Each structure stands twice: as C-alpha cells, then as structure tokens.
Amino acid sequence: METPSLSAGTHKALLTMQRNELTEHLIYTRLAKRVKDKDDSTILLRIAEEEQRHAKIWEKLTQTEVKPNRFKVFFYTLLATLLGYTFVLKRMEMGEDKAIEGYTQMMRELPQAKQIADDEQRHEQSLLAMLDEQRLQYVGSMVLGLNDALVELSGTLAGLTFALANNRLIALSGLITGISATLSMASSEYLSTKNSGEENAAKSSMYTGIAYLFTVAAMITPYLVFQNPFVSLAVMLTIVVVIILLFTYYISVAKDLPFGRRFGEMAAISLGVAAISFGIGILVKRFLGIEI
C-alpha cells in the first residue's frame, strides 16, 4: 500500500504522536518492572506493547525515525515512585486525550490515522481501568486522616493564635494536640476497620496516621519559622489550602472524580472551622481576662 502524501502540519503532528508513543512505551516498561503486583505488571507490559505498535504505525506514515523523550521517561518514573503509578498513567492519558483533540484538524486528510488513535485510546483506557494499585485501596483512610487533621488542627491553631499570641506556646500546644490526635485517629481507624470485618486493618490505620501526622507537621511549621503569630496563622491557612488543592487533584485524577466541587467543600469546611475557632479564641481571652 502506497504511503499517502502528508502536509507539513500533519507530518509534524504525526511525528509528535510517534515520539509520545515511544516515550510512553519506555515509561510503561519501566513501571512494569517496578510494580510488585504480577497482574498489574502484566497489564502495564501489554500497554507498553500497544504503545510500541502505535509508534510503528506512525513511523510507516511519516517514514521518519524519532527518539523518545528521555527526560519525560525519567520524570514520570520518579513521579510514579512518589505518587503511585495509577496517578501517573491516568495523568499521561489525560494529556494524550488533549493532544489528540488538537491534532484533529490537521489529521482530516488522514482519517484512518485518527480512527486508529481513537481505537487505541479506548483500548488503553480499558486496560488502565483494570489496574488495582494498593495505595488507592486506602484512599478512604488517607482522606479521613487528612481531612480530620485539616479541620481539627486548623481550628485549634487559629483559636490558640489569638488566645496565646505566642508562637512557641502555640507550636507546643499544637504539636501535643496533633500527636495525640494522630494516635487517636490511627487506633480508631484500626478498631473500626477490624470490627467491620475488613482485612488489612493495620494498613488502613497506618495510612490514616501517616496522612494525619504529615498534615500536623506542615501546619505547625510556620509557628516554628516565623515570629509573628498572625503571620504564622496566615501562612498556616495558605498551607491548608495548598494541601487541599494538591490532595484533591491527586484523588480527582487517580479516582476519576470531579475536582472543583470536592476542593470547594474541603476548603470551605477547613477555613470555616478555623474562622469560628479564631472567634472563640477572641471571646475566651476577652471574657476570661487571660493575658500571656
């Protein structure tokens, strides 16, 4: 079959897709070697083979050899180590969907190539849906620990900021409260999971505790770095919003959930509780007449 003549725009678009397919082939292959679960490893290898096959299809059309993006391979491999391979792969597919939408106009002269891309996208999405990463099974426990820490400690620190107006005392009180609450939340999650008859209660407890402790450390840090308690409060609330933003984005990508509404709810609850607690701190200091 004779290769059709391509316009400069279409040829460039296909070369981009060809390079992306080779790059993703390497990413999937590397991740497959790192994944402990054999079933997930097999799925990743299948997707890697699909990507390599796509690259060969585009190469026949472009009649040009290209090299993969080595930096992207390194970056996504590192990101998968930090955030999990399911998040990275779904993030990659989201980017690829947008790229293909952008190629549509340029590929009108080559409808068969567009059809191949659409078919393979559907195939890869079905394979990605089969992935069962362990850390995503404990998202509920992570949300519990993170959300409870954000709401409880942001309110506590906001109230203490006005009531005490002393960064060392605020940090000390927050640290004691945070560590105690971490142990309490982790043990409660363990007992709740255990009593419900679910397996791996210890892991659920661990994920809850780690999420809570990480949040506690991040929120107390401003009170250890800055001198002014109200500057520390402002920085702490900024950190709260950033944590909510990052975690909501992670969940929305990894679990295919809407981002905006979930972010708005968590931010409104945490900041609302902080505002109420700050007001309580003002009232307590005024009516009890405590000066520190």
Per residue in 12-44, pLDDT (tens digit) is: 888 888 898 899 899 989 988 888 878 888 888
pLDDT of residue 1: 44
125 and 159 part of one domain: no
Q: What is the DSSP string of 178-227?
A: HHHHHHHHHHHHHHHHHHTT-S-HHHHHHHHHHHHHHHHHHHHHHHHH-S
Structural contact between residues 232 and 238, judged by C-beta atoms closer than 8 angstroms: no
248 and 218 part of one domain: yes
68 and 187 part of one domain: no
For 157, the domain range is 138-288
Q: Structure pTM?
A: 0.67
pLDDT of residue 21: 86
Residue 3 lies in a domain: no
Boundary-marking domain end, from 134, 158, 187: 134
99 and 183 part of one domain: no
Flag residues of the chain having pLDDT under 50. Answer: 1-2
112 and 183 part of one domain: no
Read off the DSSP letter of residue 259: S
pLDDT of residue 29: 92
Boundary-marking domain end, from 98, 113, 134: 134
111 and 215 part of one domain: no
pLDDT of residue 270: 76
150 and 254 part of one domain: yes
Q: What is the pLDDT of residues 240-251, one digit of tens each?
A: 888 888 888 887
Structural contact between residues 186 and 148, judged by C-beta atoms closer than 8 angstroms: no
157 and 280 part of one domain: yes
Residue 96 token pair: 């690829």
Residue 12 token pair: 């460039």
Residue 1 lies in a domain: no
Boundary-marking domain end, from 134, 166, 200: 134
150 and 171 part of one domain: yes
Tokens 């945070």 -> residue:
178
Structurally, the chain folds into a number of domains equal to: 2
Read off the DSSP letter of residue 165: -
pLDDT of residue 255: 74
